[in-house]
Amino acid sequence: MKYKNIALFCGSAEGNNPVYAQQARQFGIRLAEKNLTLYYGGGCIGLMWATADEVMKHGGTVIGVAPDFFTRNHVLAENITKMIYVKTMSERKQLLEYEADAFVALPGGYGTMDELFEILTDSQLGMHTKPIVLFNHNGFYDHLVAQLERFSEEGFLRPFHKKLLMVANTLDEIFECLDTYENTNDPNWLKHIRH
């Protein structure tokens, strides 16, 4: 698949284990090296900034999308390529979904899960056919992956929808997933639910 930019979902905190920030920074370096534009939430804190800052330091392009109610000097980045202001978190997610060619989720909390599952649900419903990768470094998402398996086992998640989320354990695997992505949604299923 050809992609020119990636939307990042991840924590506004760095977490307790420094390995998460280390990997976020390395991801940012990879994006710059590959000349991939980063779309993200516009913050100057947490893993999101660890990635965005490295993209900028290595000559890449970073576009932030942020609700205008956040404080400029404590939450939002000032030294990125471009900042787009919106009114709500929902608008932020919609714009990221529209602009991005692919989505990658690093470790995070409520906001990351909100973004991840909305983009997955829209993929399930055929609203887009873009790749979505979950970065499971250090086993951070092992329990989430197990819960998705439980959804499937109990009949709440069809196999072709479960495969819409690709899981990568290394940075190399993230890009392997993106490069080899094929949408697994069932056109016949979509015909039944959409007109």
| Tens digit of each residue's pLDDT (9 = 90 or more) over 24-77 | 999 999 999 999 999 999 999 999 999 999 999 999 999 999 998 887 778 888
In angstroms, the CA 125 to CA 138 distance is 31
Report H helices in 34-170: 46-57, 89-99, 110-124, 142-153, 159-162
Q: How far is CA 164 from CA 9, 122, 126, in A?
A: 16, 11, 11
| Tens digit of each residue's pLDDT (9 = 90 or more) over 100-128 | 999 999 999 999 999 999 999 999 999 99
| Tens digit of each residue's pLDDT (9 = 90 or more) over 144-177 | 999 999 999 999 999 999 999 999 999 999 999 9
Q: Domains in the chain, ordered, with CATH? A: 5-193 (3.40.50.450)
pTM of the model: 0.96
58 Cβ contact partners less than 8 Å away, ≥ 6 residues apart: 28, 29, 32, 33
Residue 1: predicted pLDDT: 66
